[in-house]
Amino acid sequence: MTDLERLTAAVLRFRDERDWKQFHNPKDVALSLLLEAGEVLEIFQWKDPAGVAEAARARKADLADELADVLSYTLLMAHDLGIDLDAALRAKLEKNALKYPVDKAKGSSGKYTDL
């Protein structure tokens, strides 16, 4: 069993113990994934670079919790949709490598349409 599979199994076990699958259609899970991502960003709301670095340090426990929630819903969605996340991520990196070839994209934050 891979780590992603092991973690997914833990998330699924939590869900099934509580009979929560009935609420978990992809739209509602995607909505919750988005709200959890908002919880991560909220930690840095209004902060300038110094404040961001400080929050990364001082709010590390909260950040761990919120990123865990994001990962949780990501694993859940992938499972329910029958998506192999490991393969999907590697495939996406390959697609991105074509959109952002090193020689054109190096050191630039511009969108691929602007390279």
Residues in 52-91 at the binding interface with a copy of itself, rule: CB under 8 A? 52-53, 55-56, 60, 63-65, 67-72, 74, 77-78, 80-83, 85-86, 88-91
The Cα-based distances of 5 to 12, 17, 20, 61, 77 in angstroms read 10, 18, 19, 24, 13
Q: What character string, x for contact with a copy of itself (CB under 8 A) and - otherwise, covers 12-51?
A: --x--xxxx-xx-xxxx-xxxxxxxxx-xxxxxxxx-x--
Half-sphere exposure in the Cβ direction for 84 (13 Å, CA): 5
Q: Which of 35, 41, 43 is nearest to 69 (CA)?
A: 35
What minimum distance in Å lies between the beta carbon of 108 and a copy of itself?
8
Q: Is 98 in the site for a copy of itself (CB under 8 A)?
A: no
**Total of residues contacting a copy of itself (CB under 8 A):** 73
Two tokens, residue 103: 């020689």
